Copies of this chain bind each other. A is one copy, B any other.
Amino acid sequence: MNIEMIRAAQARLEGHARRTPLLNSPFLDEIAGRRVWVKPECLQHTGSFKFRGGWSAVSGLDPEARARGVIAFSSGNHAQGVALAASRHGVRSIIVMPSDAPQSKIDNTRALGAEVVLFDRAKDDRNAICARLSEEHGLTLIVPYDNPLVIAGQGTCGLEIAEQASAEGITKADVLVCCGGGGFTAGVALALEADAPCLRARPVEPEDFDDMARSLASGVIERNSRLSGSLCDAIITPQPGNLTFPIVSRLAGPGLVVTEDEALHAMAHAFSRLKLVAEPGGAVALAAALFHADEIEGEDVIVTISGGNVDADVFRMALDKFGG
């Protein structure tokens, strides 16, 4: 896993992924006590940064494997990213989703061109289903973060941040990355190491699901005690990846942890000050910038909004609580 893989991914994404802007607002600066720069990956195709990794993985396959198609398991953003990347390449994708996933996510994944195979979380073995389908149809499995091509794709966001920060005259800053399995954080950290060594990636997670922060603190991979019960579901994973953790550990600063209410509050600020729709998991980095200012260094902070795929009822909850 190295910077050349990220640059190669960037070349493959050119003209296909969106180059998202770097936004700011004097109102957010005021709250945070420093300049806050926002990289809104909710504006990426399929509403999250996952399209970068999906496109990178599909486009990076050798032509024969690609022609046979791909398979992925995901109930959320990775599913949509892979589905659209595959259909725009004109190849087949099967997405294995839990049967209790929200109908809207199942519908969206199908509408983006995937065949959806549902499994019962209680009875079925997801990995076995994937393995069987993969073998039967010759499909390449694209796992959500512990995959070099996926990490390389997410890293392209870091290359853009390096370039945009330089254009804004930002010389030193923490770059807060919404963190699940660590693919986004690892990719961004590698990109910054190469192109903006004055910028430091830092993972941000929700309270009670801070496996990466604890793993960074202890130096070994730590697990979450549970995997459900968070509004930040988009970035909940069992533990840091075997491929991502060493990279994050080597390059990133300490993890930050925010409460669910802080994430909802940040969503309300993204609504009123940036006119952006963030999902709870996608708002944790902005929440850290706004409400954990004393844990951050420097006159500037850069935050990712990793996705905006939130149902109306959860968005209403954020506005009810914090929208004024």
Contact = CB atoms under 8 A, between A and B. Distances in A.
A319 B315 contact: yes
B271 A312 contact: yes
A316 interface: yes
- Most interface-central of A26, A104, A268 (chain B CB within 10 A): A26
Nearest to A108: B27
Nearest to A84: B26
Interface residues of A, number: 33
B308 A275 contact: yes
Nearest to A44: B275
B319 A312 contact: yes
A43 interface: yes
Given A112-B26, A276-B275, A276-B276, A312 B308 contact: no
A172 interface: no
Interface string A297-324: 0000000000010011001100110011
By DSSP majority rule, is chain A's interface helix, strand, loop, or mixed? Answer: helix
A101 interface: no
Contact of A27 (B18, B111, B278): B111
Nearest to A48: B275
A142 interface: no
Contacts of A47: 275
Contacts of A20: 21
A42 to B, nearest CB: 4
A47 B26 CA distance: 12
A225 interface: no
Given A277-B277, A316-B316, A316-B319, A111 B26 contact: yes
A21 B18 contact: yes
Given A20-B21, A21-B43, A271-B315, 18 more contacts: A18-B21, A23-B43, A27-B108, A30-B111, A43-B276, A268-B312, A271-B277, A275-B276, A275-B277, A275-B308, A276-B276, A277-B277, A311-B324, A312-B319, A315-B319, A315-B323, A316-B319, A316-B320
